[in-house]
């Protein structure tokens, strides 16, 4: 089955194209045929890029007016005789869509029919910056590809196994019942992929181990997965709660917001800008939200860059310790995403003191694993510390095959 995976954002559409099947998923033999992006949609100069197996990469800069033209461009690139990989769009057997928010309605991926489509639209108030663009990607590709089946894969779905004691806020209960204010969690597809990958790497059934998964990128979250089910996760009602991030503050005292309103006259839009765009690593350091730049600055004795890194890593350690207790013990701790996969400095700092829960770092192994899959704990460590590159797109392809096959 040839599956097109779409991640439709506000000004870009990322895509990957896979040849896979139920047998290939079981054996790990699926093939990525192509990947690419159409970005800067609606600007004077948009960018289209594609890389197909056995073909030279293609890039062109020209105006792409809207998402309809962008997705049509993706199909045209995939079927181009020079740099594409298929003869025409009829070779696309199914489409998998990343959907950020599924609320409490969706606990797993599913085929999109009219009922599902309507329910996804009902979740727009919970993710107003993301769901509308995800929906638009579905609407356009549905119209362009006729009867091709489409599958929604939700960032929030994996976390819906949390107990009420973990997802209910200590607010008036009506806020949950009437306004759906609760902890949902995000990055679920990434957390699910690396948790599943642990089972494959160590030949363990998913109910045979506890794992803490740390997705560390410009957006960052951590999840406690006990016997295949999420017990807790750091992102919550929005992606703002939890770890320190590139430009987001993570956990803060909510009374700070009232203080800023009362003393500085900061309105809701201003608070949103501060918390989501001007805080986190960029806010502390005053330099950048890019960890690579902060590591360089810290090495040159920039005190605020070092402070930003220290706060980032301390918050990770604090969550790891809490989640180890919440699960009654942990067997694996996994670092993934841009920072988690590529910074041995952050992995090392975030793992300091974890000897208290049985995790010991092998520094040489840690330094050798940037961008690679492997274990960087010592031989006598009771808890295995791992680097596992995430691959949300291939999991979306897997779910698409399984949903189309009637297994979800």
Summarised one tens digit per residue, pLDDT across range 271-304 is 999 999 999 999 999 999 999 999 999 999 999 9
Q: Is the pLDDT of residue 307 over 90?
A: yes
Summarised one tens digit per residue, pLDDT across range 16-44 is 999 999 999 988 889 999 999 999 999 98
Q: How many domains does the chain have?
A: 2
The reply to whether 311 falls in a domain is yes
Q: Which of 19, 155, 331, 399 is catalytic?
A: 155
Residue 384 confidence (pLDDT): 98
The token duo for 403 is 């949903």
Report the candidate in 41, 140, 34 with the shortest Cα–Cα distance to residue 79: 34
Query: Please, what is the average pLDDT of the chain?
Result: 95
- Residue 363 sits in the same domain as residue 284: yes
Asked whether 252 and 264 are in contact (CB, 8 A), the reply is: no
Among 154, 180, 195, the domain-final residue is: 154
The reply to whether 7 falls in a domain is yes
The reply to whether 194 falls in a domain is no
> Which helix (DSSP H) or strand (DSSP E) does residue 137 occupy?
helix 131-145
Average pLDDT over residues 170-199: 97
Please give the C-alpha separations between residue 159 and each of 88, 196, 237, 324, in angstroms, as whole numbers: 38, 14, 12, 17
Distance (Å, rounded) from C-alpha 282 to C-alpha 407? 44
CB neighbours of 396 closer than 8 A, spacing ≥ 6? 5, 96, 97, 98, 109, 151, 153, 189
Residue 345 confidence (pLDDT): 97
Residue 129 confidence (pLDDT): 85
The reply to whether 165 falls in a domain is no
Residue 301 confidence (pLDDT): 97
Summarised one tens digit per residue, pLDDT across range 362-390 is 999 999 998 899 999 999 999 999 999 99
- Residue 236 sits in the same domain as residue 126: no
The reply to whether 399 falls in a domain is no
CATH of the domain at 353: 3.30.420.40
Cβ atoms within 10 Å, residue 31: 11
- Residue 127 sits in the same domain as residue 227: no
CB neighbours of 76 closer than 8 A, spacing ≥ 6? none
Among 154, 177, 192, the domain-final residue is: 154
- Residue 59 sits in the same domain as residue 145: yes
- Residue 111 sits in the same domain as residue 237: no
Angle at 162 between CA 173 and CA 254, to 5 degrees: 50
- Residue 309 sits in the same domain as residue 215: yes
The reply to whether 167 falls in a domain is no
Residue 151 confidence (pLDDT): 97
The reply to whether 127 falls in a domain is yes
Summarised one tens digit per residue, pLDDT across range 257-273 is 999 999 999 999 999 99
Residue 27 confidence (pLDDT): 87
Summarised one tens digit per residue, pLDDT across range 31-90 is 999 999 999 999 989 999 999 988 889 999 999 999 999 999 999 999 998 999 999 999
Q: What is the DSSP letter of 46?
A: E
- Residue 134 sits in the same domain as residue 253: no
Residue 28 confidence (pLDDT): 85
- Residue 149 sits in the same domain as residue 295: no
Residues of the domain holding 309: 205-387
Summarised one tens digit per residue, pLDDT across range 194-241 is 999 999 999 999 999 999 999 999 999 999 999 999 999 999 999 999
**Active site (annotated) includes residue 290:** no
For residue 126, the Cα-to-chain-centroid distance in whole angstroms is 17
- Residue 150 sits in the same domain as residue 21: yes
- Residue 346 sits in the same domain as residue 234: yes
- Residue 17 sits in the same domain as residue 125: yes
Asked whether 192 and 207 are in contact (CB, 8 A), the reply is: no
Residue 397 confidence (pLDDT): 96
- Residue 113 sits in the same domain as residue 229: no
CB neighbours of 394 closer than 8 A, spacing ≥ 6? 16, 18, 30, 32, 193
The reply to whether 37 falls in a domain is yes
Residue 88 confidence (pLDDT): 93
């Amino acid at each position: 089955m040839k599956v097109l995976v779409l991640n439709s954002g506000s000004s870009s559409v990322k895509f990957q194209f896979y040849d896979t099947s139920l047998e290939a998923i079981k054996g790990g033999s699926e093939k990525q045929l192509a990947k690419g992006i159409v970005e800067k949609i609606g600007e004077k100069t948009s960018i289209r890029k594609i890389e197909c197996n056995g073909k030279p990469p293609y890039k062109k800069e020209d105006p792409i007016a809207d998402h309809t033209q962008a997705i049509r461009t993706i199909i045209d690139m995939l079927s181009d005789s020079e740099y594409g990989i298929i003869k025409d769009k009829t070779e696309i057997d199914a489409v998998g869509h990343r959907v950020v928010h599924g609320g409490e309605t969706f606990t797993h991926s599913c085929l999109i029919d009219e009922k599902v489509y309507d329910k996804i639209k009902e979740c727009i108030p919970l993710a107003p910056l993301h769901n509308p663009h995800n929906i638009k990607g579905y609407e356009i590709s549905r119209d362009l590809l006729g009867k091709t089946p489409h599958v929604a894969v939700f960032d929030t779905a994996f976390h819906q196994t949390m107990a009420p004691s973990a997802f209910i806020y200590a607010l008036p209960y009506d806020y949950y019942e009437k306004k759906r204010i609760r902890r949902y969690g995000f990055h679920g597809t990434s957390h699910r992929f690396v948790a599943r990958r642990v089972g494959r790497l160590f030949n363990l059934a998913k109910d045979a181990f506890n794992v803490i998964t740390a997705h560390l990128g410009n957006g960052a979250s951590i999840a406690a997965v006990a016997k295949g089910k999420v017990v807790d996760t750091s992102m919550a009602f929005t992606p703002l709660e939890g770890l320190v991030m590139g430009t987001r503050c993570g956990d803060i005292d909510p009374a700070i917001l009232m203080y800023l309103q009362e003393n500085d006259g900061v309105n809701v839009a201003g608070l949103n800008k501060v918390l989501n765009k001007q805080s986190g690593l960029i806010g502390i350091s005053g330099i950048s939200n890019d960890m690579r730049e902060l590591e360089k600055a810290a090495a040159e004795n920039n005190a605020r860059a070092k402070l930003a890194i220290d706060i980032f890593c301390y918050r990770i350690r604090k969550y790891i310790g809490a989640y180890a207790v919440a699960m009654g013990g942990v067997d694996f701790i996994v670092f993934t995403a841009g920072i988690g996969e590529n910074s041995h400095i952050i992995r090392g700092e975030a793992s300091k003191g974890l000897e208290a829960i049985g995790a010991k770092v092998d520094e040489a192994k840690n330094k050798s694993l940037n961008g690679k899959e492997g274990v960087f704990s010592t031989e006598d460590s009771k808890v295995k510390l791992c680097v596992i590159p995430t691959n949300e797109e291939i999991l979306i392809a897997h779910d698409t095959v399984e949903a189309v096959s009637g297994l979800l």
